[in-house]
Amino acid sequence: MKLSIEQLNFHYKITSDRIFENFDLEVQQGQILAILGKSGSGKSTLLRIIAGLEENAKGIIRIGEKIVQSQDIFVPVEKRKVGFVFQDYALFPFMTVYQNIAFGMRIKDKKKVASLIGLVQLEGLEKRYPHELSGGQQQRTALARALAGEPDLLLMDEPFSNLDTGLVMDLRIDLKRIMQSQRMTTLLVTHDPEDASVLADRTLRL
Amino acid sequence: MAVLDVVPWGFAFIDFYFFGKKVHRYFFLAAGYNSVHSGFSKIGVKYSEAASTLGKGRLYALVRVELPMVKTSLISGFLLTFIDILKELPLTLLLRPYNFNTLASRAYEYANDERIMEASVPALMIILISVIVLLFFVGIHQKKISSVKDEVKS
């Protein structure tokens, strides 16, 4: 779905530094936008605001035709239908790969979980726990988990930052294939311009 | 029994139920609280946020994600508080109901009457129960340490 942000203003409650001032953004349906910028420029904060994890933001955010945030409206994070891949993946350590992926599903559909496991090429690892997986496998589990809830929007916060350079090359290609197959509007935060050039249709510098 | 005789007992009852219980609660809160608080501090908010982005509410995330992760800290807090209560003497002597004894108060009373042999039974029971609970506590922590080591190795 299309994402549009109008007149976004944000500052942290503790510090008065303004992170966003009258910030506008539009991302078309199915488009992959890479967000680049220095540390502290607000890349991850922007994703958190869109997801509804930061409540201090002011402005209008629309996902599709639905307003999820405005002066009078604040749709809580669990109702925004947004998939989020965290920088450190935040996989539930006491759940297996299968249980992690199925966690966000309303009805635990075995076929759907199996198809997601196939999509991210984790066949045979369903019963493993996150600490028994490599960094790349954890990243793919996190991606499958985010996709399982059929989100309207996918947000990825530095998905390659914890991985070896050699592995990143292969994963970029994998991720590109998955994102193309899903045709999902995606915002990808990265500090590496190469991630942006390989994966994104458009780049935004903060 | 005259009405006036009942009044002090009534006050004692009210005092124990509305004041004494609170004192006990706050006195023993520290041991349990520190353990549970450190468990929640360690996991932070990321798992709760991850559950929220997967469409789950705050309560669901607490029950299904956070509580299983702080299970060890909750059990540790319970065990430490249990040992603390088991061995507690001054507060028990001040606030216990009439004719109510704990192992600690019984040991104190016998020792006070110089009946050392009799005092040794409840005293040894306190030690025995505490050792069993502590062994259980150490077992839980060793299991936790070995699982962390496994995670680091992988």
Tell me if chain A has a CB within 8 Å of the CB of B68.
Answer: yes
**Nearest-CA residue of chain B relative to A78?**
B55
Among A104, A68, B61, smallest CA distance to A113 is for A104
pLDDT band at B20 (very low <50, low <70, confident <90, very high): low
Q: Return the H-helix or E-strand segment holding A85.
A: strand A82-85
Measure in Å the smallest separation between the Cα of A149 and chain B Cα atoms.
6
Which pLDDT tens digit goes with each residue over B82-104? 888 888 888 888 888 888 888 99
Under a CB-based contact definition with an 8 Å cutoff, are residues A23 and A8 in contact? yes
Q: Is the pLDDT of residue B1 over 50?
A: no
**Nearest-CA residue of chain A relative to B45?**
A90
**Nearest-CA residue of chain B relative to A87?**
B46
Which pLDDT tens digit goes with each residue over A77-132? 999 999 999 998 999 999 999 999 999 887 778 888 998 898 888 889 999 999 99
Question: Looking at the partner chain, which of B46, B53, B69 has a beta carbon nearest the beta carbon of A83?
Answer: B53
**The pTM is what?**
0.78
pLDDT band at A5 (very low <50, low <70, confident <90, very high): very high
* CA angle at A167 for the pair A161 and A173, rounded to the nearest 5°: 95
Q: Is the pLDDT of residue A142 over 90?
A: yes
CB contact set of B83 (below 8 Å; sequence gap of 6+): B130, B133, B134
Using alpha carbons, list the distances in angstroms from residue A5 to A55, A84, A196. Answer: 15, 18, 21
Arithmetic mean of pLDDT, B135-151: 74
Q: How many CB pairs under 8 A join A and B?
A: 56
**What's the mean pLDDT when you consider all of chain B?**
81
Amino acid B115: pLDDT: 92
How many residues are given for chain B? 154
Under a CB-based contact definition with an 8 Å cutoff, are residues A24 and A206 in contact? no
As a whole-number percent, the residues of chain A with pLDDT over 90 amount to 40
Report, in angstroms and rounded to the nearest whole number, the Rg of chain B calculated over CA atoms.
22
Instruction: Write out chain B residues lying below 8 Å of A149, CB-based.
Output: 54-55
Tell me how crowded residue B86 is: count the other CB atoms within 10 A of its CB. 15
Question: Looking at the partner chain, which of A90, A145, A148 has a beta carbon nearest the beta carbon of B46?
Answer: A90
ipTM of the complex: 0.88
Amino acid B21: pLDDT: 62
Tell me if chain A has a CB within 8 Å of the CB of B148.
Answer: no
Which pLDDT tens digit goes with each residue over B25-74? 677 777 788 888 888 888 889 999 999 999 999 899 999 999 999 888 88
Using alpha carbons, list the distances in angstroms from residue A79 to A48, A62, A74, A136, B53. Answer: 14, 13, 10, 29, 8
Least confident of A4-13, A148-157, A173-182, B113-122: A173-182
